[in-house]
Structure 1
């Protein structure tokens, strides 16, 4: 079968022929119908992110995957051949969080094998192209908003980085009643998109009036919650400076750069907090599927382009260069 493989030692990526996998005990195999391209995939190829638990040097990328079950392994109950499903973006194994497409083979392939506990049925009304990226692109900001930050309605929120995760964060924050929502991005197209997705204000981080505009939007108090979806050190400094008393800075974007609090005394005096966030739990994906079924959410605007698996490298290039300002590019075998 074809698979998009990354050699993490040489940072060489290619779509190549590999041996077709089969479902073992406690597993199912899916015929992949759609797989999302995430900025984390780009960073893996670039070597900015490195797998922590990968056995060997190579891995099939893709942690956002949906398809149809075509093999059921021994001991699997409740899942049948022909079911439409998505795959959770990772799993807990022996107390260790393993990420699909990072620590083990993912969904940029014609077939993908998954532990049965990571398989989630989806309704016929939800397309594979929209279902595949609910784990991560939507569930990561949802988990950050609801579990890590505990955002309350009618509280001021800032979102730095309105890309694949940040755009969904704006949409989700609007749904739960956060207000005002201040979106921050250097790209004019991203700021315009933020307003379309429900932001009350969209700012360029380089605007010399930035601090005053945030103060004006929040009645002079600052932000109750500030989310970094960019993973950029200057973003974290600016976001921390924008916090209100008891405000929380939530770090979702990944970076290996040091975290800097610009004024430690002020930060402590105002009893502010910094919290890290990574991925999401199975419960967040199930919650989102319930909201989709109840027509509270839909993600057709998030599908920015569909490319064949053989053009995975081109999809990576487009996302890396922000060509067309994509939210999610989708690969189909």
Structure 2
């Protein structure tokens, strides 16, 4: 079968023929129908990210995956051929969370093996392209909103960075009743998308009076929660300046740059908080699939284009160029 393989030692990526895997006990072989292309995949290729648990030097990329059960492994009775499923983006192995497509082979391939506990059945009317992006692109902001930030209805929130994660954050903040939802992004196309996804106000971070505009929109109070999906130090300083008393800054975008609070006295006086966030858990994916099943959310606007698996490198390059400003690009094996 074809698979998108990365040598993490040389950072060499290629789509090549490899043996089709076989499912072992408690495993399922899945015929991949769609796989998301994420910035973290690009960062694995360029060396910004390195697997923590990968045995060996080579891995098949892809942690956002959906498909059809092809073959249950020996003794596996929970799943049957033909069932439509998505794959959780990781699994617990000995108390450590291993990430699919990072620490073990992922879904940039014609077939993928998954532990039976990491499959989630899909509604018949959920397209594979939309299902694939739920683990990570949708579940990460959902977990940040519902678990880390615990956003309350009717409370003002801000979203810095309306890309693959932030765009879904805007959409999901409306689901939980946050109001107003204020989006901040330097790209005009991203601000336009934020409004289309449900933001009440979209601002350019270069606006000199941005904190004043945020406070005007929130009746002078400021934000209960500010989400940083950009991972940029300047964003964090600006977001803190927009917080209400007791407000929270939630860090979702990843960076190795230091976090600084320029006015520590004010930060302490107003009892503000900084919270780190990473990824999501199995229940968040299950919740989102149920919301889709009940037609509370849908993600058709999130698919910015599809590519055959053989053109995986071009999909990565297009994402990095922000060509067309896509939320997510999809590989179709």
TM-score, length of structure 2 as denominator length? 0.98
- Aligned pairs for 1:209-248 within 5 A: 209-248=209-248
Aligned match of 1:96: 96
**Consecutive unaligned residues in structure 1, runs of 5 or more:** none
Partner of 2:292: 292
CA distance in 1, matches of 2:109, 2:33: 9
- Do structure 1's residue 20 and structure 2's residue 20 form an aligned pair? yes
Q: How does 1:77-92 map to 2 (within 5 A)?
A: 77-92=77-92
| Aligned equivalents of 2:154, 2:323: Cα separation in 1 | 35
State the partner residue of 2:271: 271
Q: Secondary structure at the match of 2:136?
A: helix
The 2-side partners of 1:203 and 1:256 are apart by: 26
SS of 2:155's partner is: coil
Aligned length: 333
Q: 1:135 maps to which residue?
A: 135
- What per-residue deviation string (whole Å, max 9, x for no partner) do you get for residues 140-167 of structure 1? 1001000111000111101011011100
Instruction: Give deviations 1:184-236, integer Å, cap 9, x for gaps.
Output: 11100000000000001101111112121111111121110011111222212
Task: Give the Cα separation in 2 of the matches to 1:252 and 1:212.
Answer: 24
**SS where residue 117 of structure 2 aligns?**
helix
Q: Which structure 2 residue ranges, 5 or more long, are not aligned?
A: none
Q: Secondary structure at the match of 1:164?
A: coil
Checking the alignment, whether the CA contact within 8 Å between 1:241 and 1:262 is kept in structure 2 is no
Name segments (4+ residues, structure 1) moved above 6 Å: none
Counterpart Cα distance in 1 of 2:265 and 2:113? 51
1: CA distance, partners of 2:158 / 2:46: 29
After TM superposition, give the deviation of residue 75 of structure 1 in Å.
2.7
User: For 1:77 and 1:234, how far apart are their aligned partners in 2?
Assistant: 52
**Contact 2:173–2:181 (CA<8 Å) still a contact in 1?**
yes
**Distance in structure 2 (CA, Å) of the matches to 1:332 and 1:209:** 45
1:247 positional shift: 0.7
C-alpha distance in 1 between matches for 2:23 and 2:154: 48
Quote how far apart the aligned CAs of 1:77 are: 2.5
Q: Does 1:114 align with 2:114?
A: yes
Write the deviation string for residues 273-309 of structure 1: whole angstroms up to 9, x where unpaired: 1111111111111111111111110111111101100
